[in-house]
Amino acid sequence: MSGLLDLLRGWAGKPSHPPLTDASIGAYTVGTVMLVLGALGVEEEQMAHGALLAISGGLLLALPTALTGFLDWLQIPPGGPRKTIATTHLLVMLTATVVFAATWLAQLDGYKHDEVKTLAWILGVAAELLLTVGGYLGGSLVFVFGIRVLKREDATVIQAVVPGRIEGTTENPQGVGR
């Protein structure tokens, strides 16, 4: 079971969580922009459809994104600012996901009737604001504390770009010492 969890978490210097967050954040953001544009009268029928599809993509990615993030969260020792920020990040992102799910539900009828629903774009903007705060906190975990960062000055190009090529190295899952 440990091998499967390690595979889900990713390799040293190549964690699975960040690329999943990029994809889900992109899908949610595109969906929200489409809702706002449609509400402003820009190609409303197309925006009503595209927004629901984009948000659907974000919601489909939510489970693997949350799972890989949770597996990373489990590796951070309790107490201290790293765990506090990671826990806040987790809660904000889960809240954003719930609000995006509510956005999806609010827009479902609009998809069927070729219109952007007022409640949908309002919820979408609120969810996007939560997403921005959560992303900011997640970025702090990486760029301030170095969580899941593997810094190797001596790595070759192949070691740097091919997952699993750096063997016997210690990743910094908690960002300790950075």
Output the pLDDT for position 116.
95
Question: pLDDT below 50 — which residues of the chain?
Answer: 168, 177-178
Rounded to the nearest 5 percent, the helix, strand and coil shares of the chain are: 70, 5, 25
Q: Measured between alpha carbons, how far is 57 from 54 in angstroms, rounded to an integer?
A: 5
- Torsion, Cα 38 43 48 49, to 10 degrees, reads -150
